[in-house]
Amino acid sequence: MSKIALLLTQGFADWEYALIGGTAGPFYGLEVQYFTPVAGQVRSQGGLSAQVSENLDNLQDWQPDALVVVGGMIWTTDQSPDIRNLLNQQHSSGTVVAGICGGTLALARAGLLNEGPHTSNDLDYLTQNARDYAGTEHYLKSPSAVSANRIITAPGTAPVSFAAAVYDSIGMDQSTIAQFKAMMAAEFGSDLNAT
């Protein structure tokens, strides 16, 4: 059974982890575990309070197949956790490292976006909020997730393609991924302007 670690911080963005958190276990039989920098209560941007008993010290022992850094406003502040060593350690050990929205800043600060294709909310978002970021030539302005070299990035507006890329990275069957994407797009059909 593949394992996905979801890293939540104070003010985590509710919609960015929800598709993985809500479908990975119940629909696809994957093991999902939530982690925070410090075990205890975290509160989402939308006001959801969650009690998380696993901190980042336990992550190494759990050995996830994918580590997902969920975005939120904290990543643009000086209260953002320094997880550079953890991310590099996990990636070096073969773990897929994924970041959406503000989570891409954590990957940029760790130097994981310096040498391969990636995206984020915007190029300026990375350059202004990740001091050591040196990957501008590899930045792709993409509305969907970008996956390369066991690194997945996405803007905050792309939780569906982000979840699909995470599932793909851990070897989920392609027909199941296609079904997941079709299910998430079904409400729009062929007319995005339908009311």
Helix runs in the chain, H state only: 14-23, 59-62, 84-92, 103-109, 123-129, 159-169, 174-185
For the purposes of burial, counting CB atoms within 10 Å of the CB of 178, is it exposed (0-12), middle (13-18) or buried (19 or more)? exposed
C-alpha distances out from residue 6 to 22, 56, 66, 112, 123, Å:
12, 11, 9, 18, 24
Q: What is the per-residue pLDDT across 170-190, written as a single tens digit (0 to 9) for each?
A: 999 999 999 999 999 998 875
Residue closest to 181 by CA, chosen among 162, 150, 156, 160: 160
Domain positions in the chain are: 3-185
CATH of 3-185, one of 1.20.1630.10, 3.40.190.10, 3.40.50.880, 2.60.40.10: 3.40.50.880
pTM given for the model: 0.95
Angle at 137 between CA 136 and CA 143, to 5 degrees: 70
**Residue 54 CA from chain centroid, whole number:** 18
Phi, psi of 19 (to 5 degrees): -70, -40
Q: Per residue in 22-72, pLDDT tens?
A: 999 999 999 999 999 999 999 999 999 999 999 999 998 999 999 999 999
Q: Which residue has the tokens 């008993």?
A: 53
The widest CA-to-CA distance across the chain, in whole angstroms, is 48
Span 61-89, average pLDDT: 97
User: Binning pLDDT at 50, 70 and 90, where does residue 195 land?
Assistant: very low
Report d(CA 3, CA 19) in Å as an integer: 15
